[in-house]
Chain A
Amino acid sequence: QFVLTQPPSVSGAPGQRVTLSCTGSSSNTGAGYAVHWYQQSPGTAPKLLIYGNNNRPSGIPDRFSGSKSGTSASLAITGLQAEDEADYYCQSYDSSLSAWVFGGGTKLTVL
């Protein structure tokens, strides 16, 4: 059971735009703690895609964008490509647990 809630799966066709959601609570995302997004392709370590709700580390294409409102956050991917097929995790900090918390992950399938 994960503190942040993500849909198990999302799919989209190449070139399309998809949105992945992440819902927390008043002790984490709703308390103002930032949401971060990681991409994990099979057999590889997670890679940071978005930090601080909407910032991209260097090297991350602008097809990836993040947003946050209240207790919810979203990761949008435009111009979907086959290489985007991966698991995506959101992550934040929870003040009640004094811990970093992850969502259960969303598997993105490119049709």
Chain B
Amino acid sequence: QIQLMQSGTEVKKPGAALKLSCRTSGYDFSNFGISWVRQAPGQGLEWMGWINTRTGDTNYAQRLQGRGFMREDPSTKTVFMELFNLRPDDTALYYCARDLLSDSSWYTSGYWGQGTLVTVSS
């Protein structure tokens, strides 16, 4: 079955860098894009960006521009997100999520990872 397995809990200090992973299985990796969505404690969902796993093309939320990067590794069917110069307000549960359909113009995620808790605190 389709699975997205995310890396474990992270605790970081302000100014540090973060690298999260999302290992996929159960489908053709290159046919479906992956988004990253985060959720601050007690808050709503915030889209951070999307990567085309076939071409590596990315689309980032404006808030992430220049501070966050996504890439894929087809050999391990894994997507990574790196976030630099962390701030306390980056504290959140980070989800990776696979496009529902191979046609990315639907702009929706049908399968979600379990989430990675990231805490940024001095």
Partner of A92 from the list B61, B95, B107 (CB cut-off 8 Å) is B107
Chain B residues with a Cβ closer than 8 Å to the other chain, count:
22
A47, B112: Cβ atoms closer than 8 Å: yes
Question: How many angstroms from the CA of A47 to the CA of B109 in the assembled complex?
Answer: 9
Main secondary structure of the interface of A (DSSP, over half): strand
- Of the listed stretches A15-23, A72-80, A94-102, chain B binds A94-102
A100-B107 CB under 8 A given contacts A45-B113, A47-B112? yes
Chain B min CB distance to A104 (Å): 5
State whether the Cβ of B110 lies closer than 8 Å to any Cβ in chain A: yes
Partner of A45 from the list B44, B59, B95, B106 (CB cut-off 8 Å) is B95
With a CB–CB cut-off of 8 A, which chain A residues contact B95? 45-46
| 8 Å CB interface, A76-111 against B | 87, 89, 91-93, 97-105
Chain B min CB distance to A75 (Å): 14
B interface vs A, CB < 8 Å? 35, 37, 44-47, 50, 59, 61-62, 95, 97, 100, 106-110, 112-115
Chain B min CB distance to A65 (Å): 17
A2-B44 CB under 8 A given contacts A97-B62, A98-B59, A100-B35? yes
State whether the Cβ of A57 lies closer than 8 Å to any Cβ in chain B: yes
